[in-house]
Chain A
Amino acid sequence: MATESRDYTEATETDRELTMSRAMVEAIAWEMRENEEVFYMGEDVADYGGIFSSTTGLLDEFGRDRVMDVPISETAYLGAAVGAAQAGMRPIAELMFVDFFGVAMDQIYNNMAKNTYMSGGSFSVPMVLTTAVGGTYNDAGQHSQTLYGTFAHLPGMKVVVPSTAYDAKGLMHSAIRDDDPVVYMFHKRLMGLGWMPSPPGPKTGVPKEDYTIPFGEADVKRPGDDVTVVTLGLHVHRAMEAAEQLDDDGIDAEVIDLRTLVPLDTETVLDSVRKTGKLLVVDEDYQSFGVTGEIVARAAEGALDDLSAVKRLAIPDVPIPYARSLEDEVNPGTDDIAAAVRELHE
């Protein structure tokens, strides 16, 4: 890497506010300028600039050789990214919606995720798999999942879930420079798209220069003494809103944004529950065998004596339904979070 990059602790948030998509693209463009081995491929990533604006402007600057539209052949092009990465390049391959992983899962979990280990460390797979996640806009069961737990469950991939523009940029720099495969899951609702309004939180100040955010460092978004709320992605913002409401009633919630699932910052979670004794985990993925269960298990393993109450909110093990009344029912809302914290606080 040509440039010595600044650590995120030095890079300060600036007055320059960006949407999450702009911040993500800025990091990709920076890395592409610095390193000719970085290229981006996916469906509709060239002229369209990514269905969720993950590549806006990249075609103009870098041309079709480095910003490649590919056939609707996920097995072929995700597998090709694995091969190019093993050959020493740094491909970024986009899976338009995470829900489409099914048609290419073998390349993802048998090749991308395992080749390092199965080669006894003789191969590296330095690629980034970018993918859009999440619901809240009524796109039904094949286009609204997050599948955080699915990817985090299978060993060999690092899993990153930014919730702000600042994090999106720093995590993208880290992802591209990482020597391992990184799954970079961006929530559609947070990207700042004109046609899918974001809540206020994800648009943040973003430094112009490059900076990295190390994987495995959760962010305490709001310190509090009464109840720990651990979450990620869109629900960071829902939890923050709930925390503001609760504050009016004298309940002091601590909100933790995990930011990366693999590696997972267990220490920050444990420090918090040792202080509060009460844990709520909020997730937009399916409840069973997933992120919520994992966080609760780690809290129990590490701080059982300090825990007095535990709750989790997640998609209640049903596919994501289409109709608004149904999707609202299953996707944990701000009120659900506030109510759960209140129950824990009692």
Chain B
Amino acid sequence: MVSVTDLRTMYEQMVTARHYEERLVDEYLVGKQPAFDISAGPIPGELHLAAGHEASGAGVCIHLRDDDTVTAPHRPHHIAIAKGVDLKRMTAEIFGRKTGLCRGKGGHMHLFDPDVNFACSGIIAQGCPPAVGAAMAAKKRNTDAVAVAFLGEGAIDQGGFLESLNLAAVHDLPVVFVVEDNDWAISMPKDRVTDVQNGAQRADGFDMPGVRIDSDDAMAVYEAAGEAVMRARDGNGPTLIEVQVHRRMGHFMGDAEGYRPEADIDRAKQRDSIERLAEDLRSHGVTDDELDEIRERAHERVEEVISWAKEQPEPDPEEAYENVFTNPPAQAATDGGAAADAPGDAGETGGDN
């Protein structure tokens, strides 16, 4: 049974993630109005926000420790927040700053935080194989760490995912695959690209348990993920979970969603997993005042990390040549290639961990 403490933690992570995305909308649009220019403003490039996906990140990651690995796709913020990624440095990364998680080299789709074993790939399904590898390392070293790969329902048609299921299954690796089904892959509805409505059925062909959670319900995710993570930790192999979530915003910022029926947009907004969890908390005796308090704390934290990030310096142009290699070849500086300076001293980055 889920404890009230865990419910509160999930709620706090979910409201943090929701508010974070809503605030990033404002920040992203700076310099992009009235004419939208993707390369203008303090946050340039693509931005995929995860409002409506929170229950999956929170309900899964609450079972994880820092030494467990998570890989996330192009829509990673809610997962990163739930995994405990340094939110200050993550935000600085999104703003392209020197003290960002990746020193400004990765951006929002490519967040890496070794302290909590978190990594991303912006290529569909390509976070799956590295998660399998993390699980392989855990098994070889006889630790009880696990790995979780998050992906969208659009990714379940990709070879990298299907091959990973098989490799994980045949080696009984401690890995959990979590498919976030928001019904859409950019403009393509699920039924246009797969004949299987329940993505968890993919597990059948690989002889592993497959669980579908139909309800965008943090408690239900909590239960299913708890079982899957325990199964992995106990050395009993992988599990595939598909969670129904909702895309409350466009695929990326600037997406006018002309392809999406109005009714579908409305429906996504009505099914709010955060509201649902608040109800659960109330039924466990948590008062509205306490919920307000959690929300305020989350909002303050989000404001704090955003202001911190915006004060951070931009990377110096010369830093572009660093970090191509951990051990840069000695002659690289003279051949027009990556800089050969001594491996960079990470220095003080001043995040919140």
Could you tell me how many residues of chain B have their Cβ less than 8 Å away from some Cβ of chain A?
Answer: 54
CB-CB under 8 A from A72, the residues of chain B are 124-125, 154-155, 157-158, 185, 193
CB-CB under 8 A from A316, the residues of chain B are 320-321, 336-338
Report B99-140 CB contacts with A as 1/0, cut-off 8 Å.
010101111011000000000011111100000000000000
Q: Are B107 and A139 in contact (CB under 8 A)?
A: yes
Would A47 and B259 be within 8 Å (CB), given that A72-B158, A316-B338, A323-B105 are in contact? yes
9-residue interface stretch from B37-45, B49-57, B213-221? B37-45
Q: Are B45 and A194 in contact (CB under 8 A)?
A: no
Q: Are B106 and A322 in contact (CB under 8 A)?
A: yes
Q: Are A195 and B254 in contact (CB under 8 A)?
A: yes
Which residues between 313 and 346 of chain A lie within 8 Å of chain B, taking CB atoms?
A: 316-319, 321-330
Q: Is B289 engaged at the interface, CB distance under 8 Å to the other chain? A: no
Query: Least Cβ distance of A283 to chain B in Å?
Result: 12
Query: Least Cβ distance of A167 to chain B in Å?
Result: 24
Interchain CA distance A46-B100 in the complex, whole Å: 38
Q: Are A196 and B38 in contact (CB under 8 A)?
A: yes
Q: Are A323 and B192 in contact (CB under 8 A)?
A: no
Q: Are A197 and B37 in contact (CB under 8 A)?
A: yes
Contact of A323 among B36, B124, B314 (CB under 8 A): B314
Contact of A48 among B107, B109, B259 (CB under 8 A): B259
CB-CB under 8 A from B38, the residues of chain A are 137, 195-196
Interchain CA distance A187-B124 in the complex, whole Å: 22
Q: Is B186 engaged at the interface, CB distance under 8 Å to the other chain? A: yes
Would A324 and B105 be within 8 Å (CB), given that A102-B123, A288-B336 are in contact? no
Q: List 22 A-B contacts (CB under 8 A).
A: A69-B192, A73-B159, A103-B126, A103-B158, A136-B39, A137-B38, A139-B45, A139-B46, A140-B110, A141-B105, A141-B110, A142-B109, A142-B121, A194-B36, A288-B335, A316-B321, A316-B338, A321-B315, A322-B104, A323-B104, A324-B96, A325-B317
Interchain CA distance A158-B159 in the complex, whole Å: 27
Q: Is B160 engaged at the interface, CB distance under 8 Å to the other chain? A: yes
Q: Is B316 engaged at the interface, CB distance under 8 Å to the other chain? A: yes
Please name 4 further chain A to chain B contacts, defined as beta carbons within 8 Å, in addition to the given A140-B106, A196-B38, A326-B317, sorted by A numbering.
A48-B258, A73-B157, A136-B39, A138-B107
- Chain B residues touching A, majority SS: loop
Interchain CA distance A136-B107 in the complex, whole Å: 14
CB-CB under 8 A from B192, the residues of chain A are 69
Q: Are A323 and B96 in contact (CB under 8 A)?
A: yes
CB-CB under 8 A from A141, the residues of chain B are 105-106, 110
Contact of A137 among B45, B124, B185, B186 (CB under 8 A): B45
Q: Is B188 engaged at the interface, CB distance under 8 Å to the other chain? A: yes
Interchain CA distance A69-B191 in the complex, whole Å: 11
Q: Is B97 engaged at the interface, CB distance under 8 Å to the other chain? A: yes
Contact of B159 among A44, A75, A197 (CB under 8 A): A75
Q: Are B157 and A71 in contact (CB under 8 A)?
A: yes
Could you tell me how many residues of chain A have their Cβ less than 8 Å away from some Cβ of chain B?
Answer: 46
Q: Are B45 and A138 in contact (CB under 8 A)?
A: yes
Contact of B109 among A103, A140, A197 (CB under 8 A): A140
Q: Are B105 and A326 in contact (CB under 8 A)?
A: yes
Q: Is A17 engaged at the interface, CB distance under 8 Å to the other chain? A: no
Q: Is B345 engaged at the interface, CB distance under 8 Å to the other chain? A: no
Interchain CA distance A43-B186 in the complex, whole Å: 9
Q: Are A321 and B320 in contact (CB under 8 A)?
A: yes
Q: Which 8 A/B pairs are nearest by Cβ-Cβ distance?
A: A323-B104, A322-B107, A323-B96, A138-B44, A329-B317, A71-B157, A137-B39, A48-B187
CB-CB under 8 A from A238, the residues of chain B are none
Contact of B110 among A46, A142, A325 (CB under 8 A): A142
